[in-house]
Structure 1
């Protein structure tokens, strides 16, 4: 059995991967599907969160971590919708920590540091090849930086990619 220190991490972004946005009327003529009824004052975007993703994410042989600007609000708003336990949350440094190298996503360095040398996968809608190259050159363990199409959110194909990467390790 793999100890929690050896299990890969799965960093999860919210806007785009779990809450899709930006599709055209041609892609979703009736608008985005909604899954969860929302009461007065609730964030209407949370209705787009598919609760079926929770059990699928939880079944992956890795440790889930929120890597989102929602920070701890992800635990308050999303974990109940997804049926997940409270997850660790990446806290982002202040922007004054210095500029990012050209083209590098502002989350990339923090996630490499947060992983503390553990293998990790990262699902986000803003990952580029620049991030992949930077992580490969600086992170001692395996990594998968997988870009999710924000118009669709996490799909079966995205989960299959993560599952295949996890099985290789």
Structure 2
């Protein structure tokens, strides 16, 4: 059988991992990437995105997918700022379709949708809201390998986060 092997997925949240927020002792450094980029004036938080994230994400052995409430806006406002191409985007279920029972039990509202989107493929999920409840649910309901990687939203993705993701993803190649 000829054909390409489907790469592992990396589901990427924006707020927290790419745009740090929260209490810090000093202001976040602004990254100026050009006044002509989309969203430059619409959202001042975009200046917190380190442009080095683009090459670092592109170097990971996986298919990066936006898993954020930014949805398609991530391709318009964020991808160009960090040098990424247009990426696939997870379309979230309508809020009325989300099981309230899950949230009461601590399951993140994204978890079921990501497992469904992955359709058995190995995936890493990078988010600042990942919990042990999500890890347990994914382990019980996803037939492939999965890494649910929590990021400290005060700092966003760091060298150690990239090292952990790269190491885990390379074990799957």
Q: Give the alignment's TM-score, normalised by structure 2.
A: 0.90
Per the alignment, residue 99 of structure 1 pairs with: 100
**Unpaired runs of 5+ in structure 2?**
none
**Unpaired runs of 5+ in structure 1?**
none
- The 3 A distance-change label for structure 1 pair 37 and 73 is same
Question: Is the 8 Å Cα contact of residues 112 and 139 (structure 1) preserved in structure 2?
Answer: yes
CA distance in 2 between counterparts of 1:139 and 1:60 reads: 22
CA distance in 2 between counterparts of 1:74 and 1:100 reads: 30
Q: Which is further off, 40-49 or 74-83?
A: 40-49
Q: Give the alignment's TM-score, normalised by structure 1.
A: 0.92
CA distance in 1 between counterparts of 2:82 and 2:33 reads: 14
Output aligned runs, 1:11-160, within 5 Å: 11-25=11-25, 29=26, 31-36=27-32, 39=35, 41-97=41-97, 98-101=99-102, 102-160=105-163
Aligned residue pairs: how many? 163
- The 3 A distance-change label for structure 1 pair 41 and 35 is closer
**Offset, 1:95:** 1.3
- RMSD over aligned CA atoms reads 1.5
CA distance in 2 between counterparts of 1:103 and 1:168 reads: 30
